[in-house]
Copies of this chain bind each other. A is one copy, B any other.
């Protein structure tokens, strides 16, 4: 492969920031120029390389910051809760309601929630953060029957899963889920504060009450790849196999 100074610099920086807490600011491009004795382009390429590796995110006018990337494991038996998942990974979750209204369900949502088209349901639009860094953007539909006064609950508790438990007296579990990765549409890209077109996670999910089996919520979320690593599992649990497919012990032959 082609030699490159910027890759060396990126490797050095990657090792350095490995132990730094998320949100820590890196040296500016100008500082890197002086430190490594290179021009602007090499210094800039190095930091962009780290951005491609999902190690940092850059904000114009502000700086380059160590990113926080948590595992978001989706399987039949895990609670469908953003807040819970983030906290278990050691991050501080936060969710902001951008819009909340009660509206009749469109055909797509209605069929997934197994109610007649036009049935009124809560419609939430929210942004989610990890350690105050934007991580996800989502639409959520919650059947009106599950919890008529959703807004009351959402004022004291950010986790939808928790609100449904405490005020709706239902325990939601994932009954269906579809995950992919894609270039988001421009509006979603803007919501995720992405300045360039990169793949993000698309997670759709239908949750039901564990006891009655009644469909409660349908959600469609976009998640930044540098915030979460979505891991999706189907079938019987992986016996004694490690959960992280990160480490590769196998060596490529020849």
A interface residues (Cβ-Cβ under 8 A, vs B): 1-2, 49, 52-54, 60, 74-76, 98-99, 107-108, 111-112, 125, 139, 174-183, 185, 187-188, 190-191, 195-199, 201-202, 204, 206, 220, 225, 229-242, 245-246, 248, 250-254
Contacts and interface: CB of A to CB of B under 8 A. Distances in A.
Contacts of A195: 1-2
Oligomeric state, in copies: 2
B199 A199 contact: yes
A179 B234 CA distance: 9
Contact of A180 (B98, B178, B190, B229): B229
Nearest to A185: B248
Contacts of A52: 196-198
A195 to B, nearest CB: 6
A235 B76 contact: yes
Nearest to A189: B1
Most buried by B among A49, A196, A252: A252
B241 A179 contact: no
Contacts of A181: 181, 199, 201, 225, 229-230
Given A196-B52, A199-B199, A176 B248 contact: no
Nearest to A179: B232
B229 A182 contact: yes
B234 A176 contact: yes
Given A176-B238, A177-B233, A234-B232, A245 B98 contact: no
The residue in A183, A190, A245 that gathers the most chain B C-beta atoms within 10 A of its C-beta is: A245
Given A181-B230, A206-B235, A232-B180, A241 B108 contact: yes
B234 A177 contact: yes
Nearest to A248: B185
23 contacts: A52-B196, A52-B197, A74-B234, A76-B234, A76-B235, A98-B254, A107-B240, A111-B239, A112-B241, A125-B253, A174-B234, A175-B235, A176-B236, A177-B234, A178-B233, A178-B245, A180-B230, A181-B201, A182-B229, A185-B248, A187-B251, A199-B225, A233-B234
A57 B211 CA distance: 50
Contacts of A190: 1
B175 A236 contact: yes
Given A188-B252, A199-B225, A245-B178, A183 B238 contact: no
A126 B54 CA distance: 28
